[in-house]
Structure 1
């Protein structure tokens, strides 16, 4: 009986072990310094993790190893949460993505021509504050959302609204400010109450270097002479464009919540994952908070993040319900390519099993 059980189950076990070994090999091509900062990766299918890996250190000074439960800064993956928060407010009838931003920020230059949709899709033409030379003058200051908007709002536009797609952090700062104006709550509290708490993301936070955060992964830069602690910034500067932190497990809860319409109905959810068009009718590959691309000819939804000391990447393939996420606690190592390679590898394995 035991023998027949072994014979029946061993091919699947071998296949799983083979896939794990292949993923391990991909990760270790870049994340190969067990005594330095490293990365955490997860693969999930049908809403459940099927692979998890942590390599390197969560804290170099304390010599603590990374684990899949460590909390990382997300960087621009924050934009997913900001976009969904806007759609939640639209579903409640409190705003419309077609609204001009002048409806909420009355003194914004040319605000009657720039819509919330333009902000969501990076087609507003507003100057990206991260490209401004004067950014260093505020990087460590506590800035209110109004102050942040004031920092860039009088800069000349790069192009007319809807003319071009150009990735833009300023637009997502404006969206966070609009969330506060419309909801009457801080962005931090809104995300905590209506997303993190509702979904059960108990290890997700608005970034803080002061708060005691259990299982925090510390961020690093790499210099010619070795690793150094990340540059300190005020998280009120990236704000709703890049100031959230989470774990791979919580991010899977987030993905599952979107799939199960825990936060938005199907109609509103679809808006986040629709490819839109420029004024000239040309389609571009960005929805609301996600890049909409393809892996091996299969549509996916993806976004990365980069902030001092951290880089992140997540890919979701809706047709196969596959979610792959990678997080690094050194901005010297980007998980972007590896995450894509893992997703392609998992697709290949899935297709082999279906044959």
Structure 2
């Protein structure tokens, strides 16, 4: 089995500067030192092909960057079964909660511009939400607020099907509910935290959230095939999302952009997600100091680390440091995994949420390191009992997003 253990140590700026850079500001061309061997390529093809063919995933995109060069891009299966349209490298997928990374970066851009302070109370920007008045922006980023998750409420799915979304409607779902715990005392994944950050971005920038990320993230990073759910009607090469129940698969109903918004509304390609990673870690979007802060796990009030940073999870896979986030909407799954010590970034997008999307990226890492995977295929009795519960908590929270609700 793959061993996943969360890091207790605080991540430092070394996470940022460990990535190889090129002077051009764009991904380098593969060289003999970076390109995959024929054997590695065959193992990756086999690993992904096996998962796609043995599950109900209709189609997938996979992209790998190694030491600054894109060394692998593949498309698998179908984007639209009814039209018999295959996935290609230009096919777009909803990427769900990977959006949270973009939202976190937007907040930090506004901090750098002195328009926000991470220790500002939420009431400064969203005064109408009384239960969360004293919550800080930092706690929202770290998911330590106690604010209820609107997507976990029974009324949520009914609302998404029957009414157009809006920030006010999301707020109405939680307005009469107390906090689940005192801010800073626990960690709990809540999409509401990042919805609230979207409104904070609007208040500080005087732009709509979608306009802000289009101008300050997508355009700045060269993400020419990236937009939001609101753009899907005008997008060519948009994949159809599917869901499976009782062994039967069918296209899913889509919900309006505001129901996902700053917690999960981005539409992209695997190649563009790599462009996002590249721009972020090269310091094109933020100072490297801010990127280090963004990828440093948060802490509770008593100093306990949580292993969730600002839109990123920080843990290890088979002893290798990993910085990542997955995502899911109704009919789509995504995974953006970075292995800084190995110089690897792996992005997988699928158009069915029937499997955890990080399964693909983790298996690809194993395919690139077959000796490592074989050597660690044993029980994990030595795992640190103080760390393992946090790992399981993180994974439960993120996988619940895929299986029971969007984002």
- Same fold per superposition (TM over 0.5): yes
**Which residue in the other structure is 2:62 paired with?**
41
Distance in 2, matches of 1:201 and 1:145, equals: 26
How many Å apart are 1:311 and its aligned residue? Answer: 0.7
Distance in 1, matches of 2:179 and 2:173, equals: 14
Distance in 2, matches of 1:13 and 1:267, equals: 27
Report the CA distance shift for 1:12/1:178 in structure 2 as closer, same or farther (over 3 A).
closer
TM-score normalised over the length of structure 2: 0.79
Report the CA distance shift for 1:299/1:226 in structure 2 as closer, same or farther (over 3 A).
same
Distance in 2, matches of 1:77 and 1:203, equals: 16
**Which residue in the other structure is 2:364 paired with?**
342
TM-score normalised over the length of structure 1: 0.90
The correspondence of residues 184-199 of structure 1 with structure 2, limited to 5 A, is: 184-199=206-221
2:303 is the counterpart of 1:281: yes
Distance in 2, matches of 1:137 and 1:151, equals: 11
**Which residue in the other structure is 2:245 paired with?**
223
Contact 2:57 2:350 in 1 (8 A): no
How many Å apart are 1:55 and its aligned residue? Answer: 1.4
Contact 2:35 2:66 in 1 (8 A): no
**Which residue in the other structure is 1:31 paired with?**
52
5+ unaligned residues in a row in structure 2: which ranges? 1-31, 373-407
Distance in 2, matches of 1:48 and 1:18, equals: 18
Residue-by-residue CA offset, 1:128-180 (whole Å, 9 max, x unaligned): 00111111332142233233223313312110101111111000000001111
- Paired residues in the alignment total 341
**Which residue in the other structure is 2:204 paired with?**
182
Report the CA distance shift for 1:49/1:200 in structure 2 as closer, same or farther (over 3 A).
same
Report the CA distance shift for 1:267/1:230 in structure 2 as closer, same or farther (over 3 A).
same
2:97 is the counterpart of 1:86: no
Distance in 2, matches of 1:67 and 1:35, equals: 18
- Between 205-214 and 119-128, the greater mean CA deviation after superposition: 205-214
- Between 226-235 and 268-277, the greater mean CA deviation after superposition: 226-235
Q: Which has the higher contact order (CA 8 A, sep 6+)?
A: 2
**Which residue in the other structure is 1:166 paired with?**
188
**Which residue in the other structure is 2:318 paired with?**
296
The correspondence of residues 75-154 of structure 1 with structure 2, limited to 5 A, is: 75-140=96-161, 141-154=163-176
- What is the DSSP-based 3-state SS (H/G/I as helix, E as strand, rest coil) of the residue aligned with 1:40? strand
**Which residue in the other structure is 2:79 paired with?**
58
Report the CA distance shift for 1:56/1:153 in structure 2 as closer, same or farther (over 3 A).
same
**Which residue in the other structure is 2:279 paired with?**
257
- Between 127-136 and 138-147, the greater mean CA deviation after superposition: 138-147
**Which residue in the other structure is 2:331 paired with?**
309
5+ unaligned residues in a row in structure 1: which ranges? 1-10, 351-355
Distance in 2, matches of 1:208 and 1:228, equals: 22
Distance in 1, matches of 2:55 and 2:190, equals: 35
How many Å apart are 1:349 and its aligned residue? Answer: 7.8
Residue-by-residue CA offset, 1:219-245 (whole Å, 9 max, x unaligned): 111233632111221221121101111
Residue-by-residue CA offset, 1:62-89 (whole Å, 9 max, x unaligned): 1011112211000111100000000000
**Which residue in the other structure is 1:208 paired with?**
230
Contact 2:34 2:67 in 1 (8 A): no
Distance in 2, matches of 1:91 and 1:209, equals: 29
How many Å apart are 1:29 and its aligned residue? Answer: 2.1
**Which residue in the other structure is 1:22 paired with?**
43
Distance in 1, matches of 2:34 and 2:181, equals: 55
Rg comparison, structure with higher value: 1
Contact 2:132 2:147 in 1 (8 A): no
- What is the DSSP-based 3-state SS (H/G/I as helix, E as strand, rest coil) of the residue aligned with 1:56? strand
